[in-house]
Structure 1
Amino acid sequence: MKTNIPFHPDRAVQAFYLFFIIHTSQIGAGLMGVPRILVLEAGVDAWISVLIAGLYLHLVVFIMLQILKSYENADILGIQQDLFGVWIGKTLGTVYVLYIFLLLLTVIKNYIEVVQVFVFPEMPIWLMALFLLSLMVYSILGGFRVVVGTSVIFFFLTIWLVFTIYKPITYMDWEHFLPVFRTPAPDLLKGVQQVTFSVLGLEILFFVYPFIQDKKRAALPAHAGVFFTTFLILLVTVVSIGYFSPDQLKAIVWATLSLFKIISFSVLERFDFIAVALWMMVIIPNIVLFGWMIVHSLKRLFNAPKKPTLYGLAFLLFFTSITAEKRVALNELTNWTGEIGFWIVFVYPFLIYMMILLKKLMKKRNAS
């Protein structure tokens, strides 16, 4: 496996698409229940944890870009091989693939459970999994540009849902936020960690960077994607704290989706049913992007052919998604994935950056 990936203009996209890629990879199943998780850790000061987490996300993006700029046209798989050697590099790459697989499985399982709870309690898991995985296979077979196009299209098809929160805002009780700054710092930091669990997907920057044409302009759309993700999490967290009482919010698993229950129109009484159905358009980019990352990584690491790898991945996801049906198993899967993802996405890049700086320093000493 070569460190640098050959650049093909016909397969690349403009830098401004990074906004859609990064944002849609972060926003998905996690946004549905993040307010409750934050309040359990940081109380009504959870919005402070979101702001701190947002700043940290921008720092991680900055470090990722510095790592990628140190090479001509490499992804994280090639960088690891350059720093640690072939065998350790491939081992670390395999760990990345396994983590992304767990993340993809978590997204699928969480959405299926939401559909069963809110809309169709008797819907079989295999039917929903088959539908989602069929969309994943169809999109990835079209190539990288189709994968990116999926993110762009579904972003614009679902972004209008943000404006429907105006109704819960009118019922907010601002006294729920008082007194401010009463949460101890350790609990706020636990809230920050929970935010990072909910926005896993930022690591996609390590994989798509070689396919960006004007790399010098990559920083602005990458930071813009993270900023918009932080804004949405802050919005739903603030509205949820203001609308629900603290005890209510701690008992509601999917607080974001519950906000849609009070929204109704003259021709539509239960808008929350529509919101749950439309949320599928929110998670489809997750599924497509993560699936592409796995197929791309296996091709880079082991020269695995694209189509058989994709079909094998879809079958494995289908099989694992129908085996674990209990809520306890899903919670364990989600927590385990979040713990692994925290270290891989929000800690590991700093280690890589330190290794690159050390390597440059050793080269300078040897040259002198």
Structure 2
Amino acid sequence: MNHFKPDITQMISPFLLLFIIHATQIGEGILSFERQIASIAGYDSWISIILTGVLTTFIVVIIWKIVGEEQTDFMAIHQYIFGNILGRLLTFLFSLYLFAVSMIVLVSYIEIIQIWFFPEMSIHFFMFILLMLVLYISLGGFRIVAGFAFFSVFVTGFLAILKYKAFTDGHVNNLLPVFNTPPKDIILAMEPMSLSLLGIELILIYAPFIHRFQSGLKWAVSSNIFTTFVYFFSAIAIFMYYNEQHIQFISWPTLQLWKVINFPIIERFEYVGISLHLIAIIATSCLYFWASMQCFYRLTSFSFRKISIFFALIGISSVHFIHNFLIIEKITLALTRIGMILLFVYVPLLYICHKLASGVKKKHANK
């Protein structure tokens, strides 16, 4: 198997996985996921959050077993199992998926800016500004991307704490009765919840950039558990503050909650919250964008810089076709389903195929 070995100056400590994975999973979805899961499983959907967290933790362990001691990456694994042509094709498709997620994260945030701040603002102009920032960070290398992700976690942590208002003004009776939802609906609510916990698949791309990768499993599992807790905490807060009928008509429950927070020098805190959340959006988009460009870089003979600039231009042009909320919802739903198949079906199958291929090749090598 051909192993990709990055320069030691681009490698990071396994401890930073605690921040990188969390930053990947906390994006625009943290502002609206409560409505999506509650519309399917009601206020018992907190169970769906826990189940999704357990399932994604299991996938993290599988990913560690796939990467193994060799510390290989997604492209090398594909070529090892499926051969050069099919392996490169599968990596190419995976790269397109990562690029699409990176773009939809930015477009979803721009939609919030348009609705809450500047209704007449040009989406092309704002997309250009955000993508230039994503491009600039990504071209700095994986350490810069990881450093920005590290910083973003403190911002999202601060914003999560500010949901305390829901616990002081909310009603715990909203959560009752518990276990009143059919198990089928709880399982179905895991689909929109899975979008929020996607991001662990990127480990297959940046595994070679983690120094002493095998020792990072505990940090990766801890990060996924921490993210699950953040979503669980957020859901309970919102469910206590809004009743089950009311939340169906609120696109971004967290932003509505922030409207009631008052500080002596800040009257409209939701404006501050939306602005600070930009850091989390950029961190998430950067990680997906860098991972996508890394795959394309490995597949072609072009430089990382040229590939990144080319796809940044494609990203700016693509917003011409995404001009309303319904299109964004459809694209997000499609990416959610692709992500679920990739994470919960393809990754386990990849592990099985990797084991079988390793066994067959070792058997032939011993003859």
Aligned AA (2:13): Q
Aligned AA (1:43): G
| Equivalent residue runs for 1:91-240 within 5 Å | 91-240=89-238
Q: Is this contact kept in 1: 2:23–2:280, CA < 8 A?
A: yes
Q: Write out per-residue CA displacement over residues 86-112 of structure 1, whole angstroms, 9 at most, x where no aligned residue.
A: 011011001101111211121011000
2:54 corresponds to 1:41: no
Q: Is this contact kept in 1: 2:104–2:328, CA < 8 A?
A: yes
Which residue is 2:14 aligned to? 15
Q: Is this contact kept in 2: 1:19–1:221, CA < 8 A?
A: yes
Stretches of 4+ aligned residues off by more than 4 angstroms? 363-366
Which residue is 1:332 aligned to? 330
CA deviation after TM superposition for structure 1 residue 169, in Å? 1.2
Q: Is this contact kept in 2: 1:108–1:321, CA < 8 A?
A: no
SS of structure 1 residue aligned to 2:119: coil
Which residue is 2:53 aligned to? 54
Question: How many residue pairs get matched?
Answer: 366
Q: 1:241 to 1:356 in 2, by over 3 A?
A: same
Q: Write out per-residue CA displacement over residues 247-270 of structure 1, whole angstroms, 9 at most, x where no aligned residue.
A: 111111111222211111111111
Separation in structure 2 between the aligned mates of residue 44 and residue 6 of structure 1, nearest angstrom: 47
Separation in structure 2 between the aligned mates of residue 360 and residue 94 of structure 1, nearest angstrom: 23
Q: Is this contact kept in 2: 1:24–1:155, CA < 8 A?
A: yes
Q: Write out per-residue CA displacement over residues 60-108 of structure 1, whole angstroms, 9 at most, x where no aligned residue.
A: 1000011011x51311111011000001101100110111121112101
Q: Is this contact kept in 2: 1:30–1:199, CA < 8 A?
A: no
Q: 1:312 to 1:7 in 2, by over 3 A?
A: closer
Which residue is 1:63 aligned to? 62
Separation in structure 2 between the aligned mates of residue 228 and residue 120 of structure 1, nearest angstrom: 34
SS of structure 2 residue aligned to 1:300: helix
| Equivalent residue runs for 1:205-354 within 5 Å | 205-354=203-352
SS of structure 2 residue aligned to 1:246: coil
Q: Is this contact kept in 2: 1:168–1:262, CA < 8 A?
A: no
SS of structure 1 residue aligned to 2:245: helix
Separation in structure 2 between the aligned mates of residue 33 and residue 157 of structure 1, nearest angstrom: 18
Q: Write out per-residue CA displacement over residues 170-209 of structure 1, whole angstroms, 9 at most, x where no aligned residue.
A: 1121111111101111111011222112222221111111
Separation in structure 2 between the aligned mates of residue 6 and residue 197 of structure 1, nearest angstrom: 31
Separation in structure 2 between the aligned mates of residue 125 and residue 7 of structure 1, nearest angstrom: 37
Q: Write out per-residue CA displacement over residues 228-277 of structure 1, whole angstroms, 9 at most, x where no aligned residue.
A: 11011101111111110111111111112222111111111110111111
Which residue is 1:24 aligned to? 23
SS of structure 2 residue aligned to 1:88: helix
CA deviation after TM superposition for structure 1 residue 365, in Å? 4.8
SS of structure 2 residue aligned to 1:272: helix
SS of structure 2 residue aligned to 1:347: helix
Q: Is this contact kept in 2: 1:125–1:321, CA < 8 A?
A: yes
Q: 1:184 to 1:124 in 2, by over 3 A?
A: same
Q: Is this contact kept in 2: 1:80–1:92, CA < 8 A?
A: yes
TM-score w.r.t. structure 1 length? 0.96
Separation in structure 1 between the aligned mates of residue 163 and residue 6 of structure 2, nearest angstrom: 43
TM-score w.r.t. structure 2 length? 0.96
Separation in structure 2 between the aligned mates of residue 183 and residue 222 of structure 1, nearest angstrom: 32
Aligned AA (1:176): N
Identity %: 30
CA deviation after TM superposition for structure 1 residue 214, in Å? 1.6
SS of structure 2 residue aligned to 1:136: helix
Q: Is this contact kept in 2: 1:6–1:73, CA < 8 A?
A: no
Q: Is this contact kept in 1: 2:102–2:286, CA < 8 A?
A: no
Q: 1:157 to 1:242 in 2, by over 3 A?
A: closer
Aligned AA (2:189): G
SS of structure 2 residue aligned to 1:156: helix
When the two chains are superposed, the root-mean-square deviation of aligned CA atoms in Å is 1.4
Separation in structure 2 between the aligned mates of residue 100 and residue 18 of structure 1, nearest angstrom: 19
CA deviation after TM superposition for structure 1 residue 7, in Å? 4.3
CA deviation after TM superposition for structure 1 residue 363, in Å? 4.3
CA deviation after TM superposition for structure 1 residue 146, in Å? 0.8
CA deviation after TM superposition for structure 1 residue 131, in Å? 1.4
Gaps of 5+ in 1: none
CA deviation after TM superposition for structure 1 residue 345, in Å? 2.0
Aligned AA (1:256): T
* More divergent stretch after superposition (279-288 vs 5-14): 5-14
Separation in structure 2 between the aligned mates of residue 37 and residue 304 of structure 1, nearest angstrom: 41
